[in-house]
């Protein structure tokens, strides 16, 4: 055994030297010239966006606490249905902590209306979801549901909610077709892919001044849909190439090669941060000087954590107000989550729960009353204005641009529509 | 019940004649004794650079018991394997009744009429003795998956015949009492016999026995010799590889001797015993177990 | 005992009797007494017991027994359906792995093909001709058999370990193709997959939130499949499979066309996999590329091995357990695979034959053989000796 | 049936397009990058091959042996201050740190390999279990280890650790080969050669070959079979640990609980492609698989095709050469 190491280790050492020599030959130690793309314009010929210092939290945003005088039956229950475990758990945890926070705040302020909270685990799996959803639907004390987080599971269960008349607000499923099934109980608490796509196109071209945009999509429902609407909104001449990657992929050499070949100045990555972060990092490492744009699925503190300095070139689109920038929310959230900061869709979960809690406070403690209440709801939440169309889409949705500044995601203002 | 299964209900003991009729229904047909059944012509097998079998030619005649002997590593089993399709000969032919066996799949060779046993017993351990034999019988059956699923009349008929013939074969080799025991739990001797029954079940024209007496005591060998003769008398041709000279000399009609992959002698047992080349070959390797007793 | 050899073509009574024997016989030496008692029971009592068991199984979701129930975590009838689905899958995989001894790590591929067949011909998202859902079941079987043969022809000549990796690759290819081929809609998937017809009080019976009808249908299918597989087992085909599993070379030498029968095993397994996939698609009502991964393939394999590779009752029970445990104990959802992994190791060490070890009857009319054995050898005690032999074997296995 | 096939093909046949110009245009980058990955596959494939040679079984848990090493690399380097940004360290310091990480990975991988052997295989061997049992036990071990990491480290990938910024070294056919590619390929080849020599020349190597050839005879000849088996697992683990270092070097954010499974399948495919049980076959299979996958990716358009093409090539190769390209086994390596 010892003999093996004797052979192996010198071999590695020898080779490391090769690597090291190469490093030092091009100037002073490993990676001193990090060569990251310009974050603030200039070097790459692109415009930069000013950081937005003040966040437009709607002054009259509805809070779950209400007026503190609400009265309701002690069995009144809200539920979260979605991933709690499994590979998709993180998104679900972000959401139900938001819901938990809303309910905690409500119950603290309203001693006579203690709303119960139940969670049902779907693992984010369309085939698993029917069981928990049926269970939730059969529990008559549940008057409203926050969920389901993913488009796939929403598709496989929307009908069950519809049959039971149980209203639910999805805080994160963005597939446009979800509102075209005639489900009256389905409400979407954020913009769908059709809203974000054109905004992303606008950010890439008009706002950042990109002339050559490269669109990369993952193989998720979300990524595919968003890439499609983004490409459609881009001027034909500005789209220099497209590529597809797969969920779980960690090496993007081929895609990076294609981007470099295309001489693109802006890359739009339509997917989630798990692939987006290494992709951006590898782009920059290969010498990409342009900007990187990701949608709300990429806009996550994890992105910066994983991509490091490479993330300086990143911009994000999101039809949301950044909850982690609202200090009061972030602090309160951390108490519920056990210390972790709010993540993607935490605010949406909080807002969705707030709307239902407001309904309960107003005596809407049956499913049909709750559905009617949501349908006619018209008020600001923490992240946006909530007013639904007849199909369950939100009516007007500003899409915000975000950028990375000093290792944080900061708002760069609203992306003008049209 | 209109079948030929001896019905235990009537309390009658089955006669040996009845069993023999079931085991070898074709006995009367296979009587053109002496004609060549299988002909090996210039058969050569090489592994890499090593020639295991070097231009070996001989014929196996209908109705005879042919012994194939030689010192260890002489190529006996290789010859066997080349005939039964395990190895592909690099040169030469094996023909059976005029049709070539070379290049045929192992199962096709079996169906063409060559059956074998293995030197190191290779039964289907999880199966009962009877089931083992029925696998051999299945070589002649035609039912396939749909027929089996829906239990077509042919399937039912074949299954019934299988049990009947399988039991008769077990009776023939003398282990019918253990028909429903898993073959793994049979005694060594019974396993050897079962291998022979299983090979016979494929209705071969030529039965190849690869050291069937290995590990037997003299009494068992005696029984085996009787059994081999019975098999021949029932119209089968037998090719026998065996170390035990007494057994070989006692049971075979003719003998082929191999050494270092070449044929060095061929003839009646008497002739072989006196052949100087054979004696020379065996003197070199003679030991207590394998020597001429 | 009057066993009628000219019995009905399905051999219903006899087959059931043999299956029952098999079930009882396989429980290891500790249960020998039980087996003996079971055998001693008069026929009608055996039937009575079996019928009661069947009835309880059939109405399990309606009974919804406390403690056993998976509520409030997940709907019990749907959990029951999931058990039945897994049982059916395990039944199919058992043919391939348990009977023929072919290690198939890509069985999920067949399941996926079945699901997509149901989706393509019934979903509102599909542009193909729509046919009634029930017709997609045989169609799914035909299509998966086609895929099974397509995969089998180049690969079944390979030896065990090579076959394992190639089948694993096949499963992955099917999953990837589901993402790549636009007609299969990748992650977007197919909504509103069809269901069997029928309404009750104006509501659809086979609704995707009502597990009971789906469960009962699947259980009925399982029973039919088991009877048919039993027929196969006690035939030339079943014997060929076991022979191949035990010693492929010897089987070939005994005239078994091993390639052909391996292909049949693959095809049969594929058909059952496809069937379960189609039923699954109908129940969930939605099909996309999400759940057809290697890990699920491994769960299927775990089900077969847990229950007892080669024993169809074992496979069914194994399938049901693998599906039930995570639904019953949701707390362990995150530890599910960890626990399965450890269980697999422990099982292989202490009870490699699974809960119900394989002991297949490969011949019909066992009773007749026993009598014949006794008479032909002229030893009245031969039958008893036979039983003793069995017990010996089992002790060996138990070590 | 026929209708289905044709309709699937006709409705949307745009999904498969052979873009030869894309392949030719990117041929050399695809080759070099493929070789880099191939070298990593090869190092991991060696573990499969050695164990297969000695025990005749697929150590399905070897992928987890590998990923344990990758975790060790990440933890070590994170502790040493490496992160998502290239370090500002001197050359010597970097080499020292990487060596440290490499040794840590080798030790961890070797320990995990040994545990797998003792827990999942040894008891089966003692009981004379059938072949299928080993495989299932291996799958069990693989799952158990994966989900230990899952429950410990969550479903997120570990944050990236960048070891150094690749620098262009030289230019071949108009394509730049960087220091990273060169390091990985050369190191892997050196290690393969070292292993090959080790198996040929050392006493332990002879023992391994003897057991591979005929375990019973080897035992009779005085070879301690159990010790040989353990050594084989340890050597496989050490090589997997080295593979893990290069993997993290190449894919800094690729350390995730199921990351080993995917790479393990590739490595095993590589071993089979080259001829399982054959050390040189592992190298050849690894390099080929890396390149073929990359060619497929460029030829057919995107990364989803990599695995499809790899597996199809594997099937095709096995159809022509059922024992893999080089086909022989460990026992036949000549001394």
Between C263 and D168, the higher pLDDT residue: C263
Rounded mean pLDDT of C282-309? 87
**Binary contact (C345, D133; C-beta < 8 A):** no
Rounded mean pLDDT of D41-70? 91
Rounded mean pLDDT of B133-140? 91
- D58: confidence class by pLDDT, cuts 50, 70, 90: confident
**Binary contact (D141, C127; C-beta < 8 A):** no
**Binary contact (B123, C250; C-beta < 8 A):** yes
Q: What residues make up the domain containing C163? A: 74-350
**In the predicted model, is pLDDT for residue B24 greater than 70?**
no
- D332: confidence class by pLDDT, cuts 50, 70, 90: very low
| pLDDT value, residue B4 | 42
Rounded mean pLDDT of A147-170? 91
| pLDDT value, residue C81 | 94
Measured between beta carbons, the chain D residues lying within 8 angstroms of A309 are 84-85
Rounded mean pLDDT of B234-242? 89
- A150 and A219: one domain? no
Instruction: Give yes or no for a cis peptide into C72 (omega within 30° of 0).
Output: yes
Between A241 and A48, the higher pLDDT residue: A241
**In the predicted model, is pLDDT for residue C381 greater than 70?**
no
| Inter-chain CB pairs, C–D, below 8 Å | 155
Q: Please give the Cα distance from B268 to A91 (Å, whole number).
A: 87
User: Which residues make beta-bridge pairs with A215?
Assistant: A242, A268
* Token reading at A48: 């930069």
- A311 and A339: one domain? no
**In the predicted model, is pLDDT for residue A70 greater than 50?**
yes
C and A make contact (3+ CB pairs below 8 Å): yes
Nearest residue in chain A measured CA to CA from D241: A8
**In the predicted model, is pLDDT for residue C9 greater than 60?**
no
C and B make contact (3+ CB pairs below 8 Å): yes
Rounded mean pLDDT of B115-142? 90
| pLDDT value, residue A274 | 85
CATH of the domain at A272: 3.40.50.2300
Q: Please give the Cα distance from C171 to C110 (Å, whole number).
A: 8
Percent of chain C with pLDDT over 90: 33
Measured between beta carbons, the chain A residues lying within 8 angstroms of D310 are none
Rounded mean pLDDT of D212-218? 82
N- to C-terminal Cα separation, chain C: 36
**Binary contact (C255, B110; C-beta < 8 A):** yes
**In the predicted model, is pLDDT for residue D1 greater than 80?**
no
**In the predicted model, is pLDDT for residue C70 greater than 50?**
yes
| Inter-chain CB pairs, A–C, below 8 Å | 101
Query: Using N-to-C axis directions, what is the helix angle for D259-274 and D131-153, rounded to 10°?
Result: 150
Superfamily of domain B120-203: P-loop containing nucleotide triphosphate hydrolases (3.40.50.300)
Nearest residue in chain B measured CA to CA from C262: B145
- C385 and C306: one domain? no
- A126 and A185: one domain? yes
**Binary contact (C291, A84; C-beta < 8 A):** no
- Using DSSP bridges, classify how beta strands B99-100 and B91-96 pair: parallel, antiparallel or unpaired: antiparallel
- C265 and C393: one domain? no
- A167 and A122: one domain? yes
**Binary contact (D144, C182; C-beta < 8 A):** no
Chain A: give the shortest CA distance to residue C296, in Å.
12
Residue of B25, B19, B15, B30 lying closest to B169 (CA atoms): B19
**In the predicted model, is pLDDT for residue D114 greater than 90?**
yes
Percent of chain A with pLDDT over 90: 36
- C329 and C364: one domain? no
User: Which residues make beta-bridge pairs with B36?
Assistant: B61
Q: What average pLDDT is seen over chain A?
A: 83
Q: Per residue in A251-268, pLDDT tens?
A: 888 899 889 989 999 999
In a domain, C278, yes or no: yes
| pLDDT value, residue D99 | 93
Percent of chain B with pLDDT over 90: 28
Between C251 and D16, the higher pLDDT residue: C251
Measured between beta carbons, the chain C residues lying within 8 angstroms of B115 are 254-255
**Binary contact (C364, B176; C-beta < 8 A):** no
Sequence-ordered alpha helix ranges (H) in C123-159: 133-155
Report the residue from C103, C160, C348 with minimal CB separation from D140: C348
| pLDDT value, residue B293 | 37
| pLDDT value, residue B193 | 92
- The full set of domain ranges for chain B reads 18-113+205-212+237-293, 120-203
Does the beta carbon of C29 lie under 8 angstroms from any beta carbon of chain B? no
Q: What residues make up the domain containing A254? A: 194-318+400-415
Domain count, chain C: 2
In order of B219, C83, C204, C385, the CA distances from A137 in angstroms are 80, 21, 17, 61
- C25 and C78: one domain? no
pTM over 0.80: yes
In order of C26, C55, C394, C396, D128, the CA distances from C399 in angstroms are 15, 36, 9, 6, 10
Q: Per residue in C201-227, pLDDT tens?
A: 878 888 888 889 999 999 999 999 999
| pLDDT value, residue A11 | 52
Flag the least confident range among A303-312, B67-76, D172-181, D320-329. Answer: D320-329
In a domain, A50, yes or no: no
| pLDDT value, residue C378 | 39
Domain count, chain A: 2
Does the beta carbon of A160 lie under 8 angstroms from any beta carbon of chain C? yes
- A242 and A294: one domain? yes
Flag the least confident range among A96-100, C28-32, C353-357, D200-204. Answer: C28-32
**Binary contact (A85, C71; C-beta < 8 A):** no
- C151 and C248: one domain? yes
Q: Which helix (H) or strand (E) holds B115?
A: strand B114-116
Contacting residues for A218 by C-beta, under 8 A, at least 6 apart: A224, A244, A245, A246, A247, A270, A271, A272, A275
Report the residue from D29, D88, D256 with minimal CB separation from A29: D88
- D27: confidence class by pLDDT, cuts 50, 70, 90: confident
- D105: confidence class by pLDDT, cuts 50, 70, 90: very high
In a domain, A392, yes or no: no
- C344 and C365: one domain? no
Chain C: give the shortest CA distance to residue A24, in Å.
42
Rounded mean pLDDT of B249-264? 90
Q: Per residue in C150-172, pLDDT tens?
A: 989 888 888 777 788 889 888 98
Find the largest Cα–Cα distance for chain B. Answer: 65
Three-state SS at A77:
strand
**In the predicted model, is pLDDT for residue C35 greater than 60?**
yes
Contact call for residues A99 and A78 (beta carbons, < 8 A):
yes
- Using DSSP bridges, classify how beta strands B254-259 and B262-267 pair: parallel, antiparallel or unpaired: antiparallel
- B20: confidence class by pLDDT, cuts 50, 70, 90: low
Between B5 and D327, the higher pLDDT residue: D327
**In the predicted model, is pLDDT for residue C132 greater than 50?**
yes
Q: Please give the Cα distance from B273 to B279 (Å, whole number).
A: 7
Rounded mean pLDDT of D54-67? 90
**In the predicted model, is pLDDT for residue A361 greater than 70?**
yes
In a domain, C68, yes or no: no
In D, residues 261-300, which contact C (CB 8 Å cutoff)? 261, 265, 268-269, 272, 276
- The full set of domain ranges for chain D reads 28-330
Rounded mean pLDDT of B215-232? 90
Q: Please give the Cα distance from B236 to B26 (Å, whole number).
A: 9
- A34: confidence class by pLDDT, cuts 50, 70, 90: very low
Name the CATH architecture for the domain at B18-113+205-212+237-293. Answer: 3-Layer(aba) Sandwich (3.40)
| pLDDT value, residue B5 | 42
**In the predicted model, is pLDDT for residue D231 greater than 80?**
yes
Q: Please give the Cα distance from D103 to B264 (Å, whole number).
A: 64
Between C346 and B21, the higher pLDDT residue: C346
Chain A: give the shortest CA distance to residue C298, in Å.
16
| pLDDT value, residue D200 | 87
Contacting residues for A190 by C-beta, under 8 A, at least 6 apart: A170, A171, A172, A174, A296, A319, A320, A345, A348, A384, A394, A397
**Binary contact (A152, C179; C-beta < 8 A):** no
In D, residues 49-88, which contact A (CB 8 Å cutoff)? 83-88
Between D24 and A137, the higher pLDDT residue: A137
Q: What average pLDDT is seen over chain C?
A: 80
Report the residue from A7, A89, A255 with minimal CB separation from D303: A255
From start to end of chain C, where are the E strands? 199-200, 203-204
In a domain, C275, yes or no: yes
- Interface mutation vs chain B, best among C3, C236, C371, most B CBs within 10 Å: C236
Residues of C in CB contact (< 8 Å) with A are 70-75, 78-79, 82, 176, 179, 186-189, 191-192, 207-209, 211, 280, 283-286, 288-291, 327, 330, 333-334
- Interface mutation vs chain C, best among D140, D264, D275, D313, most C CBs within 10 Å: D140
Does the beta carbon of A155 lie under 8 angstroms from any beta carbon of chain C? yes
- C345 and C367: one domain? no
Name the fold adopted by D28-330: ABC transporter involved in vitamin B12 uptake, BtuC (1.10.3470)
In B, residues 40-69, which contact C (CB 8 Å cutoff)? none
Rounded mean pLDDT of A96-109? 93
Flag the least confident range among A97-106, B12-21, C177-186. Answer: B12-21
- A365 and A301: one domain? no
- A344 and A284: one domain? no
| Inter-chain CB pairs, B–C, below 8 Å | 186
Rounded mean pLDDT of A57-76? 82
Instruction: Give yes or no for a cis peptide into A148 (omega within 30° of 0).
Output: yes
Percent of chain C with pLDDT over 70: 81
Between A309 and B134, the higher pLDDT residue: B134
In order of B139, C291, D186, the CA distances from A87 in angstroms are 52, 12, 36
Nearest residue in chain C measured CA to CA from B129: C386
Asked which of C314, C329, C350 is the last residue of a domain, the reply is C350
Report the residue from D183, D202, D238 with minimal CB separation from A19: D183
CATH of the domain at C280: 1.10.3470
In a domain, C310, yes or no: yes
A and B make contact (3+ CB pairs below 8 Å): no
- C364 and C322: one domain? no
- B245: confidence class by pLDDT, cuts 50, 70, 90: confident
Q: What ipTM, to 2 d.p.? A: 0.85
Does the beta carbon of B285 lie under 8 angstroms from any beta carbon of chain C? no
**In the predicted model, is pLDDT for residue B182 greater than 80?**
yes
- A277 and A407: one domain? yes
């Amino acid at each position: 055994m010892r003999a093996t190491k004797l052979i192996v280790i010198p071999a590695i050492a020898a080779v490391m030297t090769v690597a090291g020599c190469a490093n030092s030959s091009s100037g002073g130690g490993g990676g001193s010239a990090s060569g990251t793309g310009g974050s603030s314009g200039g070097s790459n010929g692109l415009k930069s966006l000013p950081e937005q210092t003040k966040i437009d939290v709607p002054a009259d945003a509805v809070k779950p606490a209400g007026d503190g005088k609400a009265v309701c039956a002690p069995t009144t229950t809200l539920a979260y249905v979605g991933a709690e475990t499994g590979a998709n758990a993180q998104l679900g945890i972000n959401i139900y902590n938001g819901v938990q926070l809303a309910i905690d705040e409500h119950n603290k302020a309203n001693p006579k209306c203690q709303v119960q909270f139940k969670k049902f685990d779907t693992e984010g799996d369309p085939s698993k979801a029917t069981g928990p959803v049926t269970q939730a639907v059969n529990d008559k004390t549940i008057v409203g549901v926050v969920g389901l987080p993913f488009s796939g599971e929403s598709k496989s269960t929307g009908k069950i909610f519809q049959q039971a008349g149980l209203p639910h607000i999805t805080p994160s499923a963005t597939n446009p077709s979800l509102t075209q099934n005639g489900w009256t109980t389905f409400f979407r608490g954020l913009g769908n892919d059709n809203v974000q796509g054109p905004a992303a196109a606008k950010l890439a071209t008009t706002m950042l001044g990109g002339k050559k945009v490269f669109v990369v999509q993952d193989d998720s429902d979300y990524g595919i849909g968003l890439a499609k609407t983004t490409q459609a909104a881009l001027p034909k001449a500005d789209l220099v190439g497209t590529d597809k990657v797969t969920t779980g992929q960690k090496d993007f050499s081929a895609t990076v090669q294609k981007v470099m070949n295309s001489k693109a100045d802006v890359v739009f990555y339509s997917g989630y941060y798990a692939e987006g972060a290494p992709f951006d990092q590898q782009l920059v490492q290969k010498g990409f000087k342009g900007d990187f744009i990701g949608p709300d699925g990429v806009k996550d503190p994890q992105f910066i954590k994983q991509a490091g300095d490479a993330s300086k070139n990143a911009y994000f689109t999101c039809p949301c107000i950044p909850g982690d920038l609202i200090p009061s929310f972030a602090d309160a959230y951390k108490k519920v989550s056990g210390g972790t900061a709010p993540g993607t869709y935490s605010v949406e979960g909080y807002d969705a729960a707030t709307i239902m809690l407001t309904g309960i406070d107003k005596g809407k403690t049956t499913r049909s009353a709750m559905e009617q209440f949501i349908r006619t709801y018209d008020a600001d939440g923490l992240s946006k204005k909530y007013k639904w169309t007849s199909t369950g889409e939100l009516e007007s949705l500003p899409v915000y641009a975000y950028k990375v500044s000093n290792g944080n995601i900061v708002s760069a203002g609203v992306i003008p529509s049209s | 019940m209109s079948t030929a299964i001896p019905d235990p209900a009537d309390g009658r003991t089955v006669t040996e004649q009845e069993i023999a009729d079931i085991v070898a229904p074709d006995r009367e047909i296979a009587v053109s004794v002496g004609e060549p059944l299988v002909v090996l012509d210039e058969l050569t097998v090489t592994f890499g650079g090593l020639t295991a079998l070097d231009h070996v030619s001989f014929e196996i005649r209908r109705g005879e018991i042919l012994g194939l002997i030689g010192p260890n590593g002489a190529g006996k089993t290789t010859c066997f394997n080349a005939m039964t399709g395990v190895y592909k000969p690099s040169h030469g032919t094996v023909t059976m009744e005029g049709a070539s066996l070379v290049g045929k799949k192992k199962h096709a060779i079996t169906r063409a009429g060559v059956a074998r046993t293995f030197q190191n017993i290779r039964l289907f351990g999880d199966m009962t003795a009877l089931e083992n034999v029925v696998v051999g019988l299945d070589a002649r059956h035609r039912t396939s998956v749909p027929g089996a699923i829906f239990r077509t009349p042919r399937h039912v008929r074949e299954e019934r015949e299988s049990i009947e013939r399988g039991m008769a074969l077990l009776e023939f080799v003398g282990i019918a009492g253990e028909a429903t025991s898993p073959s793994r739990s049979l005694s060594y001797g019974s396993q050897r016999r079962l291998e022979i029954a299983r090979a016979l079940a494929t209705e071969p024209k030529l039965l190849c026995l690869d050291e069937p007496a290995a590990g037997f005591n003299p009494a068992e060998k005696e029984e085996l010799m009787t059994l081999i003769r019975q098999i021949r008398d029932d119209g089968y041709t037998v090719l026998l590889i065996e170390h035990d000279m007494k057994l070989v000399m006692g049971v075979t009609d003719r003998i082929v001797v191999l050494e270092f992959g070449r044929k060095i002698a061929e003839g009646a047992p008497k002739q072989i015993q006196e052949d100087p080349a054979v004696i020379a070959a065996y003197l070199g390797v003679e030991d207590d177990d394998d020597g001429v007793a | 005992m009057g066993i009628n050899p000219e019995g009905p073509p399905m051999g219903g009574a006899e087959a059931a009797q043999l299956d029952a024997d098999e079930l009882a016989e396989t429980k290891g030496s500790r249960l020998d007494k039980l087996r003996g008692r079971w055998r001693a029971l008069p026929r009608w009592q055996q039937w009575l017991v079996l019928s009661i068991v069947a009835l309880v199984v059939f109405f399990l979701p309606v009974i919804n027994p406390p403690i056993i129930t998976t509520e409030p975590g997940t709907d019990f009838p749907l959990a029951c359906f999931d058990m039945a689905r897994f049982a059916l899958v395990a039944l199919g995989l058992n043919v391939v792995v348990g009977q023929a001894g072919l290690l198939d790590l890509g069985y999920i591929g067949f399941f996926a093909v079945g699901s997509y067949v149901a989706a393509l011909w019934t979903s509102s998202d599909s542009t193909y001709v729509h046919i009634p859902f029930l017709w997609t079941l045989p169609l799914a079987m035909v299509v998966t058999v086609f895929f099974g043969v397509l995969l089998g022809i180049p690969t079944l000549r390979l030896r065990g370990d090579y076959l394992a990796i190639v089948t694993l690759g096949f499963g992955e290819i099917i999953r990837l193709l589901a993402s790549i081929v636009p007609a299969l809609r990748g992650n977007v998937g197919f909504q509103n997959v069809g269901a069997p017809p029928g309404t009750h009080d104006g509501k659809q019976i086979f609704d995707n939130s009502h597990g009971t009808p789906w469960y009962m249908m699947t259980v009925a299918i399982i029973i039919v499949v088991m009877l048919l597989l039993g027929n196969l087992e006690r035939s030339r085909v079943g014997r060929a499979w076991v022979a191949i599993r035990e010693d492929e070379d010897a089987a070939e030498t005994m005239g078994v066309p091993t390639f052909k029968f391996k292909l049949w095993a693959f095809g049969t397994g594929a058909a059952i996999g496809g069937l379960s996939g189609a039923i699954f698609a109908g129940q969930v009502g939605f099909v996309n590329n999400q759940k057809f991964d290697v890990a699920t393939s491994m769960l299927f394999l775990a089900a077969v091995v847990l229950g007892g590779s080669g024993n169809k009752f074992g496979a069914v029970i194994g399938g049901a357990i693998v599906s039930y445990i995570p639904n019953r104990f949701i707390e362990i959802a995150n530890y599910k695979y960890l626990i399965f992994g450890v269980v697999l190791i422990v099982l292989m060490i202490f009870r490699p034959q699974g809960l119900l070890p394989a002991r297949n009857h490969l011949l019909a009319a066992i009773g007749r053989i026993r009598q014949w054995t006794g008479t032909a050898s002229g030893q009245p005690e031969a039958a008893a000796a036979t039983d003793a032999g069995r017990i010996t074997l089992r002790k060996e296995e138990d070590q | 049936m026929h209708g289905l096939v044709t309709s699937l093909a006709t409705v949307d046949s745009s999904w498969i397009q052979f873009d030869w110009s894309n392949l030719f245009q990117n041929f050399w980058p695809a080759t070099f990058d493929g070789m880099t990955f191939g070298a990593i596959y090869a190092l991991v494939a060696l573990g499969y091959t050695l164990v297969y040679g000695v025990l005749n079984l697929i150590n399905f848990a070897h992928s987890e042996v590998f990923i344990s090493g990758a975790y060790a690399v990440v933890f070590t380097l994170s502790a040493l201050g490496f992160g998502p940004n290239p370090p500002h360290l001197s050359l010597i310091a970097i080499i020292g740190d990487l060596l440290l990480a490499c040794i840590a990975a080798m030790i961890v991988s070797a320990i995990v390999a040994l545990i797998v052997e003792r827990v999942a295989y040894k008891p089966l061997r003692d009981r004379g279990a059938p072949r299928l049992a080993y495989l299932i036990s291996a799958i069990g071990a693989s799952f158990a280890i994966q989900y230990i990491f899952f429950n410990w480290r969550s479903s997120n990938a570990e944050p990236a650790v960048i070891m150094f910024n690749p620098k262009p070294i030289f230019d071949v056919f108009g394509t730049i080969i960087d220091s990273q590619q060169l390091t990985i390929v050369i190191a892997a080849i050196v290690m393969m050669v070292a292993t090959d020599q080790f198996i040929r020349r050392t006493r332990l190597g002879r023992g391994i070959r003897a057991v591979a050839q005929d375990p019973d005879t080897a035992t009779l000849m005085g070879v301690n079979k159990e010790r040989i088996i353990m050594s084989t697992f340890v050597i496989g683990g050490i090589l997997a640990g080295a593979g893990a270092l290069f993997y993290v070097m190449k894919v800094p954010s690729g350390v995730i609980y199921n990351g080993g499974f995917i790479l393990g399948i590739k490595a095993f495919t590589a071993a089979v492609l080259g001829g399982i049980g054959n050390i040189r076959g592992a190298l050849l299979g690894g390099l080929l698989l890396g390149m073929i996958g990359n060619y497929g990716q460029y030829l057919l358009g995107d990364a989803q095709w990599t695995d499809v093409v790899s597996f199809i090539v594997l099937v095709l190769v096995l159809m022509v050469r059922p024992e893999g390209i080089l086909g022989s086994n460990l026992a036949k390596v000549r001394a």
